[in-house]
Structure 1
Amino acid sequence: MKYLILCIVLINFCTAAAQTAKEHYQKGNELLKEKKYAEAVSSYDAALAKDSLYAFALNNKGRALFEQKLYEQAKEVFDKVVRLTPKDADVHYRRAKCYWAMNYFESAIIDYTTTIELDPKHLEAYYNRGLGYQEVDRNKEAIDDFNTVLELRELNASTSEKYTDIYTLLGFSKRLSGQFEAALLDLEKAIEINPKDAAAYYHRGTIKAGTDAPEAGLLDLTKAIQLDPEYAKAYYQRGLTYRLQKEYKNALKDFSKVIEINPEANRSYISRGYTYANMGKAKDAIKDYDKALEINPKDAATFIRKGYANIDLKAYDAAVVDFTAAIDLKTPFSSYAYNNRGNAKRLLKDYEGALVDVNQSLQMDSLNAFAYTNRGLIRMDKGEQEAALTDLNRAIELNDQVAEFYYNRGNYYLKLKKYDKATADYSKSLDLAPEYKQKEISKLLKVAKKGFLSGE
């Protein structure tokens, strides 16, 4: 009898405990609906204190944490739910969203893939996995997922109004994968569906600006900006397009606008600095490069650009410091940095040091045409004329479309009074790039022609 009474007491106690856990869970759900997320978490914790394996309470606790942007905590909760209910597609989907929010795109893709395996018609998972593939430059897979979204949307009338940006996303992925004509068709469809889709105009403008229609590209980029006056990417792309069109003042305005929108946009400081350099304003360029390097002090390419600007200012010692900083970072740009440091040392008349650097550049990249032309100049300055010509010729063999190479060899021939060959090289330099050292080369060309005609 005593044993029976004890069993009844235990059963009643367990039932009461279970009911209490359920009551806390239901209270948490009410708070979740009211968007009182922190209070909801407390209620779910109370439920879990009674039953630590209560999957529904864990799941909704994860949702409440996610809504508070506590992504790491939410992910840890969903880890537990996945262990309890590994076949629940929605749990994998929610954990994927946590990974996405933390920029762990590969992990998000894995969970979205599991979601799709468990629920092959999970439209949201295809859509978000497509976005994930875009983030990791797997554009073929992104295109496949976005096409699946279109197919699923057509099969389900209730989703026909969802994901209206799908053609824009398809156009974006096709643009990134080089399918420009197909991308333009998708983007035109996107604009037809939503004439106020700023992103569609941006992507279409980017394609046109990068192909053979820069003016049409500028019109689309301007339209994107009109639709979204804070669209930093559109300002940046329009700035690049203006710079390529040599509309430097307009380019400066756009890069400055990006910086106004986002003061940490180091690419815009770099691009504005490069624009100043194109305008011959090396001091302004250096200011922008310095700002970019404050934001990212491990950017070897920007140290190299700053070195170029210092060479333009004839601040060769400062240029050596810049190129050394680039070398110290040990990036794929090191070959270029050694070559340019060699050039700066040559201008300082440190010919032996220059030769060591340029040889190091060629050891790292034996096809670096600029290193050969620099070594040719060093050897010319050292009086090693035959070896100099070999290097200058090699640079042109590697790349016969660089005006600077013909200019350098033209100087070699002029120095040796080989006026006919100097004339041919200066002329070729002007043909390739009429604006490259135009005044200087035109003067040298006259000297070479005069020498040739005089029969010296």
Structure 2
Amino acid sequence: MILNEIERFEAELRESPDDFRKQYDLALCYLQHERNSQALELLDRMLDNGRRDAQAYYARAVAYLSMNNYRKAGCDFLRTIALDPDFLEAYKHLGFIQLTLGREEAALKTLKNALEKDPAHSGLYCVLGDVYLDIGEPDKAKDAFEKAFELAPEDAEPHCKLAMYYVSKGDMKGLKREYDILRDLDAVMAEQIGTLFFQPL
């Protein structure tokens, strides 16, 4: 099934090798199936032609991120934002990279700028909470995670973040509550939490 999808996009591109949209569709297909090196090679070729396209820079940044090349990913997320200042997922990923590289103040600025554009983006609050945890402000972290939950109660990510917060505070009651919720929303994460904290050795 995976090969059929990839082969279909590759065949379409062979028919029109200079078609930017078909190049982009194939690159996304590679990314979706974790063929990051192939995606990166294609996206490099697309962008080396001088094309300034926010979606292509974003896709290449995701490829770099998947390969743990945080600095190059960060540069491409910045290019994405420069071309499309309302591309909120780029802000979210850039904030994560800045946090990962130990640039907490830059991450706070990035995420707060994005939230000024869209205060209802739950994913931004999830990363913001991570930053607050990292700089030793657990109360602000909890507020951010709870805001993410309020905005997207059916998403697993806010519950995963709240579970992490409760672990950091040693609050097993709160952790158990999130564990029970995650059993329906994210069985893999729930199993990891259960194995570590709630199942007998």
The question of a shared fold, defined as TM-score above 0.5 by the shorter chain, is answered with: yes
- 2:25 paired residue number: 60
Q: Deviations over 1:75-101 (max 9, x none)?
A: 111111112353101100001111111
- 1:243 paired residue number: none
Relative to structure 1, is the Cα distance of residues 109 and 187 closer, same or farther in structure 2, using a 3 angstrom cutoff?
same
1:218 to 143, 159, 170: 170
- 1:185 paired residue number: 140
- Spell out the pairing of 1:304-383 with structure 2 (5 A cutoff): none
SS at structure 1 position matched to 2:116: helix
Partners of 2:167 and 2:15 lie apart in 1 by 59
Amino acid in structure 2 at the alignment position of 1:82: L
- 2:182 paired residue number: none
Q: Deviations over 1:326-378 (max 9, x none)?
A: xxxxxxxxxxxxxxxxxxxxxxxxxxxxxxxxxxxxxxxxxxxxxxxxxxxxx
SS at structure 1 position matched to 2:74: helix
1:49 pairs with 2:10: no
Report the CA distance between 1:44 and its aligned residue. Answer: 3.5
Partners of 1:176 and 1:147 lie apart in 2 by 16
Asked if the contact 2:43/2:60 (under 8 Å) is kept, the reply is yes
- 1:173 paired residue number: 131
- 1:227 paired residue number: 178
- 1:120 paired residue number: 85
- 1:335 paired residue number: none
Relative to structure 1, is the Cα distance of residues 225 and 141 closer, same or farther in structure 2, using a 3 angstrom cutoff?
farther
TM-score, normalising length: structure 2: 0.75
Relative to structure 1, is the Cα distance of residues 170 and 53 closer, same or farther in structure 2, using a 3 angstrom cutoff?
same
SS at structure 2 position matched to 1:194: helix
Partners of 1:203 and 1:85 lie apart in 2 by 44
* The 10-residue stretch of structure 1 (197-206 or 75-84) with the greater mean CA deviation from structure 2: 197-206
- 1:96 paired residue number: 61
Q: Deviations over 1:377-424 (max 9, x none)?
A: xxxxxxxxxxxxxxxxxxxxxxxxxxxxxxxxxxxxxxxxxxxxxxxx
Relative to structure 1, is the Cα distance of residues 141 and 204 closer, same or farther in structure 2, using a 3 angstrom cutoff?
farther
Report the CA distance between 1:139 and its aligned residue. Answer: 1.6
2:162 to 181, 193, 200: 200
Amino acid in structure 1 at the alignment position of 2:32: E
Relative to structure 1, is the Cα distance of residues 143 and 149 closer, same or farther in structure 2, using a 3 angstrom cutoff?
same
Report the CA distance between 1:143 and its aligned residue. Answer: 1.3
Q: Deviations over 1:95-139 (max 9, x none)?
A: 111111122222211110111111122111101111122222222
- 2:3 paired residue number: 38
- 2:52 paired residue number: 87
Partners of 1:115 and 1:46 lie apart in 2 by 29
Partners of 1:100 and 1:41 lie apart in 2 by 22
Relative to structure 1, is the Cα distance of residues 125 and 140 closer, same or farther in structure 2, using a 3 angstrom cutoff?
same
Report the CA distance between 1:52 and its aligned residue. Answer: 3.0
Asked if the contact 2:27/2:39 (under 8 Å) is kept, the reply is yes
Report the CA distance between 1:38 and its aligned residue. Answer: 3.1
Instruction: Give the aligned length.
Output: 183
Amino acid in structure 2 at the alignment position of 1:164: S
Partners of 1:120 and 1:151 lie apart in 2 by 12
Amino acid in structure 2 at the alignment position of 1:218: G
Report the CA distance between 1:167 and its aligned residue. Answer: 3.0
- 1:71 paired residue number: 36
Relative to structure 1, is the Cα distance of residues 223 and 231 closer, same or farther in structure 2, using a 3 angstrom cutoff?
farther
Query: Relative contact order: is structure 1 or structure 2 higher (C-alpha 8 Å, sep ≥ 6)?
Result: 2
Amino acid in structure 2 at the alignment position of 1:166: L
Partners of 1:165 and 1:48 lie apart in 2 by 34
Q: Deviations over 1:168-214 (max 9, x none)?
A: 42232123124x2xx413413532663772422532652xxxxxxxx
Asked if the contact 2:92/2:127 (under 8 Å) is kept, the reply is no
In the alignment, structure 1 segments of 5+ residues that lack a partner are 1-35, 155-159, 207-216, 236-253, 261-456
Relative to structure 1, is the Cα distance of residues 184 and 91 closer, same or farther in structure 2, using a 3 angstrom cutoff?
same
Q: Deviations over 1:191-250 (max 9, x none)?
A: 2663772422532652xxxxxxxxxx322x442244224355x95xxxxxxxxxxxxxxx
